[in-house]
């Protein structure tokens, strides 16, 4: 257990960890590191943990393919336009361009393995 893993509290019945299936661990780390500044812990060739504030908050699990659909992971951004530009620069594809919704704006993107996630911000 890393120091970061040991220091942050877990919240009862709250989302605690998000695991994304990817086809290439190194490509996922490059993309998410470049787009969001994420840092990782390697656990062998088929798994990398995603480090958050005070603990590990998710991971990349290698598989031969990624299945479309399922729950949508939505990330928060203080600056939606800057995040959109960073995702494009990192090689992500925009699935839904930014749009307004009650309470803010958001867009959807696909990572190099084809996972669809969204990013939102307040107006």
Query: How much is the pLDDT for 68?
Result: 86
Note the pLDDT tens digit of each residue in 36-63.
999 999 999 999 999 999 999 999 999 9
CA separation, residue 60 to residues 36, 67, 74, 113, 118 (Å): 15, 14, 16, 11, 17
Say yes or no to pLDDT of 2 above 50: no
Domain CATH number, residue 63:
3.10.180.10
Give me the pLDDT at residue 6, please. Answer: 56
How far is C-alpha 23 from the chain's CA centre?
A: 15
The reported pTM is 0.88
Domain limits for position 94: 3-121
Give the pLDDT confidence score for residue 1 in this predicted structure: 40
Domain count, the chain: 1
Quick: pLDDT tens for 3-23.
Answer: 444 568 888 878 899 999 999
Q: What is the pLDDT of residues 74-116, one digit of tens each?
A: 999 999 999 999 999 999 999 999 999 999 999 999 999 999 9
Burial of 108 (0-12, 13-18, 19+ CB in 10 A): middle
- Which SS3 state, helix, strand or coil, does residue 8 take? coil
């Amino acid at each position: 257990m890393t120091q970061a893993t040991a220091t942050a509290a877990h919240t009862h019945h709250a989302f605690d960890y998000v695991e994304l299936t990817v086809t290439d661990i190194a490509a996922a780390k490059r993309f998410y590191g470049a787009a969001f500044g994420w840092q990782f812990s390697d656990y062998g060739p088929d798994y990398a943990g995603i480090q958050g504030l005070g603990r590990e908050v998710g991971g990349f699990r290698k598989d031969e393919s990624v299945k479309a659909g399922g729950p949508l992971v939505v990330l928060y951004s203080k600056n939606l336009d800057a995040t959109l530009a960073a995702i494009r620069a990192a090689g992500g594809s925009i699935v839904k361009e930014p749009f307004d919704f009650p309470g803010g704006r958001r867009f959807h993107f696909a990572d190099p393995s084809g996972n669809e996630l969204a990013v939102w911000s307040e107006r």
